[in-house]
Amino acid sequence: MTDLRKEDRDRAGETAAAGGVAQPHDEGGHARHLAPHEQVDRATTGVPSDPAAFVGGSGQGDMALVYESGVELEARSQWGYAARRFLRHRLAMGGLMGMLFIFFVAIFANKIAPYPFDELDFNALRIGPTTEGKHYFGTDLLGRDFFSRVVYGLRTSVWVALFVTLLATVIGTTIGAIAGYFGGWVDNLLMRLTDLVLTLPLLAVLLVASIYLGQGKPFRVALILAALFWTGIARIVRGTFLSLREKEFVEAAKASGAGDARIIIRHMLPNAVGPIIVTATLIVAGAILTEAALSFLGFGIQPPNPALGQLINDGQSEGLKFWWMVTFPGIIIVFIALCINFIGDGLRDALDPTQRRLRD
């Protein structure tokens, strides 16, 4: 891999020297997509690029073949490059697999869980994990199958987290974009509002809000969380927009008669999608953890609806003897948060390769 990249780099430099254009995305082994340029160069000038660059290191054969055969290589967009970088990011792919699995379980909870989450069985109170009667994670103090409760709890938690993320991203992006684009007093007003929300002690506000606004219902819990989670994304989008606003292509769009809304939505937002996606991913993790904390404290989703944090709460009141009631939901929360953070890392590396540490 290492030497292939080196070859690629060499080739990229050579292309530039040969009158082609070195693309900004060359580094990191993607130089092979330069081919369209080279084909143009070759077709128009009749000067072949130095074939030596394509011979040599093992593993170069397929590339050389593609090149030699003159197969039309499609030019990749920036998203193409980003997708490629993401797919090569091992941790991120692992995280993605993990999350797909979690989503699968959440979507098909009713198919996977052997019991309804609220079915009581007084003949099987507090039994440990066993395959007997399919109580893989044991049962709780009311004899409810704990595996089923975890699976349904997962569904609730994931649903809440995704809803929070969607809502927080929409609110945060809107506020950040408006603040960053217009600047001046609009920016000042919106950012002081953001600061205000940021300074609120998260948990205390959540506790109070959940008492008055919506203890118990997953939808309301999600609304409350979203109302506090948009600040990070608003700041990041504002910062991105502040720098994009000074870009000449924005000025050029203005000079060609585009209005504010068109510039914000069509010209600037697509350029800010990278940071937005990364931050949104991290909000998913934050929301799951916060929802768990809230439910653990008994102010989030209320029984009998299961949620991961609330299951841990059930377990910890039972003491260490019934270890499974704390362990399984806890492991799953950690697993989800870890997967999402890996995905977030991978996305950041993929979307903003300039910030990546060079790895070998």
Selected range binding another protein among 4-12, 121-129, 199-207, 256-264, rule: CB under 8 A: 256-264
Dihedral sign computed on CA atoms, order 83, 87, 92, 93: positive
Asked if 271 touches another protein (CB under 8 A), the answer is yes
335, 334, 314: which is closest to 326 by C-alpha? 314
Q: Which of residues 313-342 bind another protein (CB under 8 A)?
A: none
The answer to whether the beta carbons of residues 154 and 161 sit under 8 Å apart is: no
Nearest distance in Å: CB 254, another protein: 6
Which residue number, 9 or 254, has a Cβ lying nearer to another protein?
Answer: 254
Which residue number, 21 or 52, has a Cβ lying nearer to another protein?
Answer: 21
Which structure tokens are listed for 15? 């292309």
CA dist., res. 294 & res. 148, Å (int) = 21
Asked if 258 touches another protein (CB under 8 A), the answer is yes
Asked if 304 touches another protein (CB under 8 A), the answer is no
Asked if 270 touches another protein (CB under 8 A), the answer is yes
Cis, bond preceding 304 (omega within 30 deg of 0): yes
9, 78, 162, 207: which one binds another protein (CB under 8 A): 78
Q: How many residues bind another protein (CB under 8 A)?
A: 30
End-to-end CA distance of the chain: 8
Asked if 262 touches another protein (CB under 8 A), the answer is yes
Asked if 85 touches another protein (CB under 8 A), the answer is no
12, 14, 15, 25: which one binds another protein (CB under 8 A): 25
CA dist., res. 197 & res. 175, Å (int) = 13
Which residue number, 3 or 260, has a Cβ lying nearer to another protein?
Answer: 260
Residues in CB range of 37: below 8 A, 6 or more apart = 15, 20, 21
Look-up of token digits 């530039």: 16
CA dist., res. 137 & res. 134, Å (int) = 9
Nearest distance in Å: CB 185, another protein: 11
Asked if 44 touches another protein (CB under 8 A), the answer is yes
Residues in CB range of 40: below 8 A, 6 or more apart = 20
Asked if 37 touches another protein (CB under 8 A), the answer is yes
Nearest distance in Å: CB 23, another protein: 5
Asked if 204 touches another protein (CB under 8 A), the answer is no
Asked if 267 touches another protein (CB under 8 A), the answer is yes
Asked if 83 touches another protein (CB under 8 A), the answer is no
DSSP 166-183: HHHHHHHHHHHHHHHHH-
170, 253, 337, 338: which one binds another protein (CB under 8 A): 253
23, 35, 29, 41: which is closest to 5 by C-alpha? 29
Question: Which phi and psi (to 5°) does residue 95 adopt?
Answer: -60, -40
Asked if 123 touches another protein (CB under 8 A), the answer is no
> Which positions lie near another protein, rule CB under 8 A?
20-21, 23-25, 36-37, 40, 44, 75, 77-78, 184, 247-249, 251-259, 262, 266-267, 270-271
